[in-house]
Structure 1
Amino acid sequence: MKIKHYFLMIVFISLVLVISACGSESSNKSESSQEDNTAEASDTVTYESETGPVEIPANPQRIVALTNAPNVHALDGKLVGVDQWTKSNPLFADDLEEVAVVSENEPETIMAQDPDLIIAGSHMENLEELKKIAPTVIYTWGKLDYLSQQVEIGKLLNKEEEAQEWVDDFKQRTAKIGEEIKAKYGEDVTVTVFEVDAKNFYVFGDNWARGTEILYQAMDLNMPEKVSQDALEEGYHTLSLEALPEYAGDFIVISKKSSEDNEFMQSDTWNNIPAVKNNRVIEIDQEASTYSDPITLEYLTNIFEEAFLGE
């Protein structure tokens, strides 16, 4: 009995030692894993911005985007704060439902989100104050073209390859659509992009959103000479209802709010435009068309492809 008791004691002590060793090893692994995660979260890189080098998180987890929020969203950036225009855009409203609305004029709204990266525009106020909250990268609107801007956001988020792949694919697909449109309607076919609000009409050049980059740059379609003269350099031109026929091309893209009074569409001036008579008017939602990020561009490309080439 003594021998048996002694043997059981040996086995028990051995088990305790084994369990203790395993627990220690597991604890060490857990601590090591936590250290690795902390190190990854705290890793920084130097981003060469237009205002100089900025030390930013290698993989930002809490981004406040006062500008270019749709570009960040298209790359699945982890947004915690956006401007009110992005928040209210119907293309993003559902995805950004839990994201806060912030403003550079109210830095406390930004600070409340505890950001680890802020993206701002060079025209904005309080930039120096924003830099005290978190690393702040500044962009000047129009300094980069719409596709280069997306690649630049890719660099910022450590997703440059993903951004470039989308750009290359988009350029190839839209160029092909443009060729098919010209083959169907002629090399000289023209398109005009109008917008209407409560007070004015506008005609746009080739880089003012509303699909202008797609039509004139990516698809290489033509704008009427009058549009080129008055809107290409400035980006847009304000005009009256009576002047619309002077700027109208073979096709018209009209950007408007469905909630607005579109009484002009009942006028003789509008209905006597050849493109209107020929049922060559493409209506787009103004509130969903004011950006040139991948999500918006894909949305509008689908509309244009169907309108020009659909049965």
Structure 2
Amino acid sequence: MKKSKVIMLVAILATLASVLMACNKPSSTEKEPETIETREFETAKGVVEIPSKPLRIVTDFYGGELLSVGANVIGVEPTAFDNPFIKDLLKDAVEIGQPVNVEKVLELEPDLIVVMYDENYEQLSEIAPTIHIPYGTATNIQETVKIFEDITGNHEEAAQFISKFDQKAKEGREKLAGIIAADATFGLYELTDKGDLWIFGDNAGRGGQALYNALELNMPHENSTAEQTLQLSMEVLPEYAADYMFLTAYDPEKRGEALNALKDSPIWQGLDAMKNNQVFYNDFDTYYRYDPIAIYEQIDLFVDMLIDRSKENQTK
């Protein structure tokens, strides 16, 4: 009798164990927690552990850089949506303010944040791994793409972009061969609404990477890559004048007063580039941009305007 009770007790315990195991086992409809693979990334703030393949990225001023390597940008600062070269690629992205609005970023649930400015770095770091890349970290488009290739892990997309860029640059140089003199100089200038005049090097926007890196055109001899921006007085402008001069005007209110005053200046009118019809007045928003996608598109813009102006001058 005792033996049969023991057998019955064992059977009951076995049944209970089976029931408990069944209760603890995830159902076929339940998802097991995903394991996100991470890696260490060296930044200006030290080593940060980031996703090996980030899928939801928020940034302040690096929207174009991330898009050039095929990243998914879900949030970006406001002026990115005015960038003619990437605004269509940002149709599903959210504007996060400038400075970055931490609450907006939190709502987006990013798995990576990449910033140029670090005002809210500590707060952002509590939301997701945050990488700080100060302005001017890269000196050319190749370095820029490599940085964002490393951040995203999108090696194939980065290689494709650089290959496409190199081909576009090569085609541009071939189109200009015979159109411009080999020793001709090309200068990038900007006029502010306050009348201040600046000259730019090869890594400060305004088309510098397209003009000097991709098309390999010559800077004015007084300028150098070491001096990316230099304010000029009208008196010294002739010393920095190039054979071909490209001018953008920063004029948010579109008043045009400073530009009209410059055009009427005897010094401006006396420049060789003006006399030879080799001055170009370019749209600020188009040429201010310096992300890889903008640089890629600016190559054709410069090539086309130089070819068109050459044809125009030949018919005179």
- TM-score bracket, normalised by the shorter chain, equals 0.7 to 0.9
TM norm structure 2: 0.76
Alpha-carbon distance in 2 for matches of 1:47, 1:277: 57
User: Of 275, 278, 281, which residue of structure 1 is paired with 2:276?
Assistant: 278
User: Of 75, 80, 97, which residue of structure 2 is paired with 1:81?
Assistant: 75
Deviations 1:130-183 (A, max 9, x none): 211111112132232332211221232231221122213313431453355354
Deviations 1:264-299 (A, max 9, x none): 223332222221222212332212223322321122
User: Of 55, 78, 103, which residue of structure 1 is paired with 2:49?
Assistant: 55
Greater shift, 178-187 or 159-168, is seen at 178-187
Indicate the residue corresponding to 1:235 in structure 2. 228
Alpha-carbon distance in 2 for matches of 1:222, 1:131: 43
TM norm structure 1: 0.77
Alpha-carbon distance in 1 for matches of 2:227, 2:100: 27
Greater shift, 106-115 or 218-227, is seen at 106-115
Alpha-carbon distance in 1 for matches of 2:37, 2:98: 26
Displacement of 1:99: 1.7
Q: Secondary structure at the match of 1:256?
A: strand
Displacement of 1:250: 0.9
Indicate the residue corresponding to 1:216 in structure 2. 212
Equivalences, count? 274
Residues 149 and 209 of structure 1, relative CA distance in 2, 3 Å threshold: same
Displacement of 1:119: 0.2
Contact 1:215–1:221 (CA under 8 A) maintained in structure 2? yes
Letter in structure 2 aligned against 1:209: G
Contact 2:222–2:240 (CA under 8 A) maintained in structure 1? yes
Indicate the residue corresponding to 2:20 in structure 1. none
Comparing both structures, which one devotes a greater share of its residues to helix? Answer: 1
Alpha-carbon distance in 1 for matches of 2:192, 2:115: 27
Indicate the residue corresponding to 1:297 in structure 2. 295
Alpha-carbon distance in 2 for matches of 1:57, 1:107: 20
Deviations 1:203-227 (A, max 9, x none): 0112111111121222221111222
Displacement of 1:74: 2.9
Q: Secondary structure at the match of 1:289?
A: helix
Q: Which runs of 5+ in 1 are unaligned?
A: 1-26
Contact 2:205–2:288 (CA under 8 A) maintained in structure 1? yes
Indicate the residue corresponding to 2:19 in structure 1. none
Alpha-carbon distance in 1 for matches of 2:247, 2:155: 34
Alpha-carbon distance in 2 for matches of 1:296, 1:211: 9
RMSD: 2.6
Greater shift, 93-102 or 144-153, is seen at 93-102
Indicate the residue corresponding to 1:152 in structure 2. 147
Indicate the residue corresponding to 2:58 in structure 1. 64
Letter in structure 2 aligned against 1:62: R
Where in structure 2 are the equivalents of 1:182-193 lying within 5 Å?
183-193=178-188
Residues 190 and 182 of structure 1, relative CA distance in 2, 3 Å threshold: farther
Contact 1:103–1:110 (CA under 8 A) maintained in structure 2? no
Q: Secondary structure at the match of 1:161?
A: helix
Alpha-carbon distance in 1 for matches of 2:202, 2:255: 25
Alpha-carbon distance in 2 for matches of 1:209, 1:202: 12
Indicate the residue corresponding to 1:267 in structure 2. 265
| 1:102 corresponds to 2:100 | no
Greater shift, 194-203 or 219-228, is seen at 219-228
Residues 201 and 171 of structure 1, relative CA distance in 2, 3 Å threshold: same
Deviations 1:44-80 (A, max 9, x none): 2314233444332344332111231111133342222
Contact 2:60–2:100 (CA under 8 A) maintained in structure 1? no
Contact 2:70–2:154 (CA under 8 A) maintained in structure 1? no
Q: Secondary structure at the match of 2:223?
A: helix
Report the identity percentage: 28
Letter in structure 2 aligned against 1:205: G
Letter in structure 2 aligned against 1:213: Q
Letter in structure 2 aligned against 1:279: N
Alpha-carbon distance in 1 for matches of 2:182, 2:90: 41
